[in-house]
Amino acid sequence: MLTLDTELARAFWGEGVLDVEVAAGADVLARCAAGAGAPKDAIGWLDVDKWAGKKELEHVEELATRVRERADTLVLIGVGGSNNASRAVAEALRPAGCRVVYAGNTLSAAELNRVMDELSGHDVVLDCVAKNFETLEPGVTFRLLRQWLESQVGTAEAARRIVCTGTPESHLETLCREHGWAFNPFPADVGGRFTALTPVHLLPLAAAGVDVRALAEGARAEMSALRAASAGENCALCYAAVRHLAYERGCAVELFASFEPRLRWLGLWWQQLFAESEGKEGRGLLPVVASYSEELHSLGQFVQDGSHVMFETFLDVTTPCDGDSCSVGDSSVEDGFGYLDGRDLWDVNHAALAATQRAHAEVLPVVTLGMERLDAEHYGRLFAFFEFSCYISATLLGVNPFDQPGVEAYKHRMFAALGKDAC
Ligand code: PA5
């Protein structure tokens, strides 16, 4: 289960202020829950069963089995929405299937050479994920890694080790037909950053050994509950209302903080979702990820004592899983930490979390999203929660959550400099 605790923000803003904001968002909630007014080619993710239903799960599991029979390593070639969700789950849950290596998210030669070194000696399958297949990073990386793979195992075997996740009837699908590469359909009605619960990410996650059925089930339960809940009971609307109120009251930044380093990649997924969906027309909150307690020793100073331009959302895993306990043994060395004797590091970390929340709440609005467990089901719930709340939040802000016109500006200049149109 997920819970949103807004008590500290309510105390900061004053009695009833957030409730007024939530009530004012009731119409937007109703429209978003129905997908009303959004382009039909953007909201396929609202119905979790459409892209993570029985048929899709069987399809990705079958493809994943084929990947695992052939390889110990899957290279996920993709950037932005074609990369982040898989990485958020696989890096946190550390599943026992195929190792996943990430590429196609940089133009650094040193990084690509490092990836090729890392792949050497392994049985490798490439998954090129590209909705448009025009993005430079995955495009050039796919070519280079394909050539590398062919040099290792020959063209015929390489063809059996390539999967492309692309839009049906795209150039990438044509290439798959021509070269005998497997094809995994990228939903035409879902934009990159909203694809967490579609075959785009279900395939690499299934290959990695994540329980994709639990992921889909958690998402389905959360999305249905959020679409059905009234304004006063709706955590997604409440979170969107917190963001909107903070923005209206002069905040420029939302800090997304967690005391669990394994959640860093979830933070980066969240950052991309909100930055590309909301940062437009001169509006929006800058989403910034904070990894505590390490960054209490850097950002922490600014948050407590610098200019108060932000509000803070904490993500807290409330129940320990296997590996989340580590008892601090007594020591005969007088090291000054005797007050920790016999305590568990899980509890120490949570004491630091609670202290930070209280300290920061004195100077800025603080909310906490509680996630009961760090498992596939809860990742599904988180993806559904943030995607739906992002849709509401951007609608409250008055921007289109589903386009990203700002990223075109650098692309035009880069493609011109590289002579793309001359070819
Ligand atoms: O959310 C988005 O739409 C973007 O972040 C895309 O996912 C990203 O630009 C990659 O696009 P593509 O899959 O077409 O290469």
Q: How many CA atoms lie within 13 A of 39 on its CB side?
A: 10
Q: How confident is the model at residue 334 (pLDDT cuts 50, 70, 90)?
A: very high
Q: What is the DSSP string of 148-202?
A: HHHHHH-HHHHHHTEEEEE-TTSHHHHHHHHHT-EEEEPPTTS-GGG-TTSHHHH
* Residue 11 CA, ligand 1 centroid: distance in Å: 39
Q: Tell me the chain's radius of gyration from C-alpha atoms.
A: 23
Does residue 131's CB lie within 6 angstroms of at least one atom of ligand 1?
yes
Tokens of 43: 């909201």
Is pLDDT above 90 for 37?
A: no
Does residue 192's CB lie within 6 angstroms of at least one atom of ligand 1?
yes
Q: What is the pTM of this model?
A: 0.97
Backbone angles phi, psi at 180, to 5 degrees: 75, 25
Q: How confident is the model over 161-180, as pLDDT tens digits?
A: 999 999 999 999 999 999 99
Q: What is the C-alpha separation between 63 and 184, in angstroms, rounded? A: 9
- Work out whether the CA dihedral 8, 13, 16, 22 comes out positive or negative: negative
Does residue 284's CB lie within 6 angstroms of at least one atom of ligand 1?
no
Backbone angles phi, psi at 225, to 5 degrees: -65, -45
- The one-letter amino acid code at 253 reads V
Q: Give pLDDT, residue 421.
A: 78
Mean pLDDT of 378-394: 98
Instruction: Choose the residue to mutate in 41, 45, 76, 79 for probing ligand 1, maximizing ligand atoms within 8 Å of C-beta.
Output: 79
Q: Per-residue b/e over 271-298, b at no fewer than 16 CB within 10 Å?
A: bbbbbbbbbbeeebbbbbbbbbbebbee
**Which residues are known catalytic residues?**
276, 297, 411
Does residue 276's CB lie within 6 angstroms of at least one atom of ligand 1?
yes
* Residue 393 CA, ligand 1 centroid: distance in Å: 21
* Residue 190 CA, ligand 1 centroid: distance in Å: 11
Q: Give pLDDT, residue 71.
A: 97
